[in-house]
Structures are given as structure tokens and as C-alpha cells.
Amino acid sequence: MSHFSQIKTQIRNLDSLQAALNDLGIEWKPGPQAVRGYRGQTHDAEVVIEQDNGYDIGFTWNGQAYELVSDLQFWGQNLSVDGFLNKITQRYAYHTVVSESAKQGFQVAEKQKNEDGSIRLVVQRWSA
């Protein structure tokens, strides 16, 4: 019986996910690699975050988005699962907006972090 939980996300871009993890100082390994779980069980993932307790967190592609995969009984992060995902999702969104804007010829003109933790971006594009 598997103890792994799979939590749906809206994360679809691996590069933006990896950049978000880097921004947050979260050490990760590229996959495919095994996420370690209860009694030696494993689950393959594209991104693996090793925890000090020997049980990992991973992000695995389900065909539409990356799901967080972990044995939640052995969650070893300072934040709750929701708090952890919220931090990653905010940085992921930032990188996705910047990347997609750049593809359309925009560049970040202004970046402001608000007191509530939100980020305000102003992008601009010069035309001839």
C-alpha cells in the first residue's frame, strides 16, 4: 500500500519551477529520480527535494501539470504543505510571467515587492 500523496498544482513549466526553487534556496535534483517514501517505496519524479529525514518531496508530470509527490506523514519542511506550495507557486508565477513576456519582446521595467508579499511587475516593449 502506497503512502505517497499526490497534490495537484497549476505548475506546467519545468524551467520556471526550477528557477522558483533556486530563488527560494531549496536544493533540488533533476530527474527522473526516485522520491523516497515509507518502507523503501519510491515514486519517480522530474524534480526531487531531499529532506534530512530520508523521505523526499518530488514534482512529477501527470500529462498536464507537475504534481507534488510526498509521503506527508514524513513532511519535514518548516512550512505546511500549503505554505510550501504557495511560496513555490508565487515564485513560479513570477518566472513564468517574465519568461512569457520576454518571448513577446517585453522586458521588466519595474519590480516592487509589496508588504503583503505580492509582487508588482511593470513590463515594457519598445517599438520602432
CA angle 93, 34, 85 (to 5 degrees): 25
Q: At what angle do helices 14-23 and 81-103 cross, to 10 degrees?
A: 120
Q: What is the pLDDT of residue 24?
A: 95
Q: What is the pLDDT of residue 128?
A: 64
Nearest to 9 by CA among 94, 77, 82: 82
Which backbone phi and psi does 66 adopt, to 5 degrees? -90, 125
Can the peptide bond before residue 32 be classed as cis, meaning omega within 30 degrees of 0?
yes
Q: What is the pLDDT of residue 116?
A: 86
Q: What is the pLDDT of residue 125?
A: 86
Q: What is the pLDDT tens value at each position of the chain, 128 positions in all?
A: 568 999 999 999 999 999 999 999 999 999 899 999 988 899 999 999 999 999 999 999 999 999 999 999 999 999 999 999 999 999 999 999 999 999 999 988 898 988 988 888 888 988 76
Note the pTM of the prediction, 2 decimals. Answer: 0.87
3-state secondary structure of 95: helix
Q: What is the pLDDT of residue 118?
A: 83
